[in-house]
Structure 1
């Protein structure tokens, strides 16, 4: 267990990302997902991460059903700000104060709870002064509807600006051994400010599982087909890195997934790997028992240094919404 930031909630070292239970990756099964969520609580995982845009809306309902009767066992993180139309397509970002309030009310209703433990601005709205968005978020804390605040995919200067309006408990950004952008100043800044860090996609959106040996391994409706890092030539290059990580994992008698999670845990942050399968959940949790030596860490730095992976995290439209 660890505390997020200096005054945030105490959470399990490993959280659970719930997005893939309702959208984006492969197919999904609500009954299996609920079993996975409830087993996660049984295993001591307390941090569950969702958002209104996942589904859209259905993921919060799923999480709400899974934790019913066990509210005191869980720290629920949810998010607002990414807009979707009726077809589920991304159509923009909204940081208007009125939207902050209506989004929170909707999330509370779908989750079936009287407060959200950690409420994130999912993406920064460049058209709305950050102070206005965070002023509205701070009001939610005052009213008791939200306990703590966070921000996703924000640059250091933006984090500092929001933190001046209301203390930030955690920043959430993609971070893994194949996605190390936060090391370029952000992590050090958060440590100096007493802000926690939650790493989403700590397995490189599944790349570090070794499941995707080629582009054709992705289902036709899998959104990773739209990501630069999974395009055929890039994926072939990136899988060479994964293969070297796997060699070290096998030498240590663990899976490549477990080694990749152990590396993120070693950075002193809270990873939230997503899975909807109880077997993979247990595999992930076993990463908590893995120790990495200085030699292991040095070898991993040699295998996957910053910038080694080929391809951006998103195409141009997605990249325009991160590191703002």
Structure 2
């Protein structure tokens, strides 16, 4: 596979990253086989967090990369707190806490160094300079290679980068969620970092496979864009995406991912891959689907900033993420 440079690090990585948030929901053996197949096939960027599966994800990833460490690039988010049931408790960005979290991640992963260490969310009670300073210490100690941030605003990026160069910023970005293009993406590019978009299919909305109303037990009901009239309006927009995709002989989801990949070589989307077949499908998409300048312009104009209705998070969650 063709590779992309990770920010200002000079490190070559695959143009897409493997998302592992749902690793624990699949069989352990299937997960290990899928991860190893992906690494051997050229997708070497594995994105995880120490709070995914309450640490279980890191243990499984550690097994998968045991004989492939030199091939794998591991990104870990940290700082989010959960109880034994997995319920959110808040954030902890204190320097000693971050160093403690890192020690546990290194142990669970079975590695000596984490390639990209990211603050999952900024702790409102701790200056970002202190949290970043802790990761700077870890880099100097050889426990971390690169500094990353997640769900931050432009000012926070500037403040963090003043302490230590920021290599990557992970944040939600898709055809349906383009708010970062106003201030955040320009700042990421100004400092020479890479953008790591998650939810490039907007929690499945852009696949064209959803219909409303959603089942009551579906977690997406908590997001405003999946509620009531918002959902019906947004599904009509997705029909336009399907029409454009059908002209290329691909799915709406394929087109949405292709769009993200075509917004710049400094963008490395996170993609879920639950089986070896999904790995092959994503590799084929990356290598084969090209957008012309006219197609890219059409998508950008049809699905501009603010076109989709509904905030990406409910009010309660908006208070704990960058806006």
Q: Same fold per TM (> 0.5)?
A: yes
Correspondence list, 1:4-19, <5 A: 4-19=6-21
Q: SS of 1:16's equivalent?
A: strand
Q: Does 1:141 align with 2:139?
A: yes
Conserved 8 A contact 2:166-2:191: no
Match of 2:195, SS state, is strand
Q: Distance in 2 between matches of 1:70 and 1:253?
A: 36
Distance 1:28 1:210, change over 3 A: farther
Q: Contact 1:261–1:284 at 8 Å: present in 2 too?
A: no
Q: Which residue of 1 aligns with 2:294?
A: 295
The aligned counterpart of 1:210 is 208
The CA deviation at 1:223 is 2.7
* Aligned residues between the structures: 318
CA change 1:167–1:99 in 2 (3 A) is same
RMSD: 1.6
1:223 is the counterpart of 2:219: yes
Helix, strand or coil: the match of 1:50?
strand
Alpha-carbon offset, residue 186 of structure 1: 1.5
1:211 deviates by 2.4
**Which residue does the alignment assign to 1:46?**
44
Question: Unaligned stretches of 5+ in structure 2?
Answer: none
CA deviation after TM superposition for structure 1 residue 304, in Å: 1.1
- Are the counterparts in 2 of residues 82 and 94 from structure 1 also a CA contact under 8 Å? yes
- Matching residue within 175, 198, 201 for 1:200: 198
Matched ranges for 1:1-324 at <5 A: 1-22=3-24, 27-216=25-214, 220=217, 222-268=218-264, 269-288=267-286, 289-323=288-322
4+ residue stretches of structure 1 with deviation over 4 A? none
Q: Counterparts of 1:275 and 1:207 in 2: how far apart (Å)?
A: 17
1:112 shift after superposition: 1.2
In 1: Cα distance, 2:275 partner to 2:310 partner: 28
What is the TM-score normalised by the length of structure 2? 0.94
Per the TM alignment, residue 219 of structure 1 is displaced from its structure 2 partner at its CA by: 7.8
**Structure 1 residue ranges without an equivalent (≥5):** none
